Amino acid sequence: MKVFFIGTSACIPGKGEETASFLINEHILVDTGWCNVLKMKEYGFAPEKLNYLILTHLHQDHYIGLPQLLFYLGMRKADGIHSPQWPLTVIGPSEKLEYILKKTEEFLQVERFQELSLQLQPYVLIPGKIYEDENIRLETMSAKHVSGADQPEAALVCKLTDKHSSGTVCFTGDTSYHPPIADFAKGVPILIHDSCHTSADDAAATAKAAGVDRLFLIHHPVSANAEKLREAQAVFPASFLAEAGKSIEI
């Protein structure tokens, strides 16, 4: 299994950056960032190869690139030269998933421009439930996250297993410090943990309690890299920074 970090920055990325998002085995996209299409192409990946899109939760910085992605795939379908994979399974929490997809289609005027119509397969996944097919198994638990109105947010911590390579990775999406994540991640070699809403040392404590091989910190301002890494390694030496444009093997 290979995880490629498309973006690692905070909610509002700096110049040339992208917010937290990554590819798994080139065909599973986790969150869309601001404009993953351009970043994927910049790094040599083809968005047409996507089979799955996993949205960890529905705060804007994690899906704001969705219209660009669907417009690109629609145009590729229309030109018939670089046909996308179908269907595109879109997995996310709560009833807002279907609402966001509907509003995206309205924004793109799909009813008016039928050539942009795509074969999407939305799958609403309640935290604690599992998505499974012939390719992947996605186990979930609830993150500890709030909305702008300080209300609990439907947000997923995910453990994804690729059935072809048997590789497994756990990623938190946005979450405040939440000790149950350690039990959820036990036995997993890699934990990709939010270090914006959770402090780096708390993320490291979670990784240590889970007994993972390596921790990768993601979703914080790039300017804080050195400080975040120092704090995490003081607790869990096998801590690393998720770096945009870099991949890790599992």
Range of the domain at 175: 2-249
Q: How many domains does the chain have?
A: 1
Q: What is the CATH number for 180? A: 3.60.15.10
Helix %, strand %, coil % of the chain (to 5): 30, 30, 45
pLDDT of 55-79, one tens digit each? 999 999 999 999 999 999 999 988 8
pLDDT at 78: 86
DSSP 87-116: -EEEEESSTHHHHHHHHHHHHTTTTT-GGG
pLDDT, tens digit, for every residue of 75-131? 998 887 677 878 999 999 988 999 999 999 999 999 999 999 999 999 999 999 999
Write down the pTM of the prediction: 0.96
Residue 104 near residue 67 (C-beta atoms within 8 A)? yes
| Beta carbons of 204 and 172 less than 8 angstroms apart | no
pLDDT of res. 184: 98
pLDDT of 13 strictly over 90: yes
Phi-psi region of 30 (alpha: psi -120 to 50; beta: other; left: phi over 0): beta
Rounded to an integer, the average pLDDT of 131-150 is 94
In this prediction, residue 83 carries a pLDDT of: 75
What per-residue confidence (pLDDT) applies to 181? 98
Q: Region 192-201: what's the mean pLDDT? A: 97
> When comparing pLDDT for 166 and 84, which is higher?
166
* Cα angle 44, 121, 106; round to 5: 85
Percentage above 90 pLDDT, the chain: 92
* Structure-token pair, residue 171: 């990623």
Mean pLDDT of 225-236: 97
* 173-192 average pLDDT score: 97
